[in-house]
């Protein structure tokens, strides 16, 4: 059973592999051996395209290292299972959301500019303590953010695709948005969520509120967001943008109310050691003929 993985360093984090597993490293470039023999592909993203996947005529499953599968869905060969790695990035992405929220509300971005200019510019800032946070997307990351916020005396409201105890749905947004000081977006990109955050969504946010996007850039209408942040009525903290990378001449870079990082929510020291142990578990399931974990169905 031939398996290709994206990083040589990942080999040390796969655990005990089943008998007959032959693991090779493929970084998306030149094939290390006959692609027709590959049964399971562990893909890191770079260099993998539809034509290369079609050459893997024996392929049964693709395991990606990211939580978001939207760019993989359109290029998957028919009959090949697609699995994401959603749990591996839960705490690091939640940590970014918490950090970015605090940095924006406490105006660390403005203080950083003053530091670069060697200016002692004291002043009052907002505070997260006692605020209301609306989390749009109550999956594992959203739930982790909720726990972190609640520990800091934040009133947390959650919505998801399906209602459950303590969690509302998208239909509740019009009533909830005007009450939230912070709105966190952490939904997968699907046809239903593309440009979920549009001009009407933003217009319902309360004055002075903060929009935090750690989902995908296309979930937010960038032009509408830019227009609102330009006025100073709301602020934003973004780890993802549309387009991405954000062009150097884009207006958002220079707006005082915008805090932008280059899609690094899950990019932390020890990344390989975080994402490859679940891959090892998946390889063992695959070899045993067991149901695969985190199979993507209808974009989720």
Catalytic-labelled residue, pool 161, 230, 263, 284 = 263
Whole-angstrom distance, CA of residue 63 vs CA of residue 276: 11
Catalytic-labelled residue, pool 7, 216, 218, 235 = 216
How are strands ordered across the β-sheet holding 182-185? 167-169, 155-160, 132-136, 182-185, 210-213, 235-238, 258-260
Whole-angstrom distance, CA of residue 27 vs CA of residue 252: 33
Contact 258, 235 (CB under 8 A): yes
Catalytic-labelled residue, pool 244, 251, 284, 285 = 244
Active site residue 263: yes
Alpha-carbon distances of 206 from 130, 174, 181, 190, rounded to whole Å: 16, 11, 7, 26
* Concatenated DSSP letters of 53-80: HHT-TT--EEEESSS--TTTGGGPPTT-
Q: Which two tokens stand for residue 153?
A: 């005396």
Which residues are identified as catalytic?
A: 216, 244, 263
């Amino acid at each position: 059973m031939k398996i290709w993985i994206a990083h040589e360093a990942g080999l040390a984090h796969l655990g005990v592999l089943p008998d007959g597993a032959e693991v090779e490293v493929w970084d998306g470039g030149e094939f290390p051996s006959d692609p027709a023999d590959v049964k399971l592909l562990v893909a890191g993203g770079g260099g993998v395209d539809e034509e290369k996947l079609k050459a893997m005529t024996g392929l049964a499953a693709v395991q990606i290292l990211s939580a978001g599968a939207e760019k993989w869905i359109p290029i998957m060969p028919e009959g090949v299972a697609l699995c994401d790695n959603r749990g591996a990035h839960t705490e690091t992405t939640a940590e970014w959301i918490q950090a970015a929220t605090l940095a924006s509300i406490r105006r660390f971005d403005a203080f950083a500019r003053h530091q670069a200019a060697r200016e002692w510019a004291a002043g009052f800032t907002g505070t997260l303590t006692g605020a209301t946070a609306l989390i749009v997307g109550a999956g594992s990351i959203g739930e982790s953010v909720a726990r972190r916020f609640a520990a800091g005396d934040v009133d947390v409201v959650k919505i998801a695709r399906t209602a459950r105890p303590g969690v509302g749905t998208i239909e509740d947004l019009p009533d909830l948005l005007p009450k939230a000081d912070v709105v966190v977006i952490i939904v997968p990109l699907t046809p239903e969520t593309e440009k979920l955050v549009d001009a009407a969504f933003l217009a319902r946010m309360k004055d002075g509120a903060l929009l935090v996007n750690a989902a995908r850039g296309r979930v937010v209408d960038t032009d509408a967001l830019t227009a609102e942040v330009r006025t100073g009525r709301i602020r934003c903290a973004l780890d993802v943008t549309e387009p991405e990378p954000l062009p150097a001449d884009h207006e958002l870079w220079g707006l005082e109310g915008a805090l932008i990082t280059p899609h690094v929510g899950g990019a932390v020291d020890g990344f390989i050691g975080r994402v490859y142990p679940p891959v090892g578990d998946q390889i063992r399931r695959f070899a045993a003929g067991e149901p695969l974990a985190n199979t993507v169905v209808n974009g989720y």
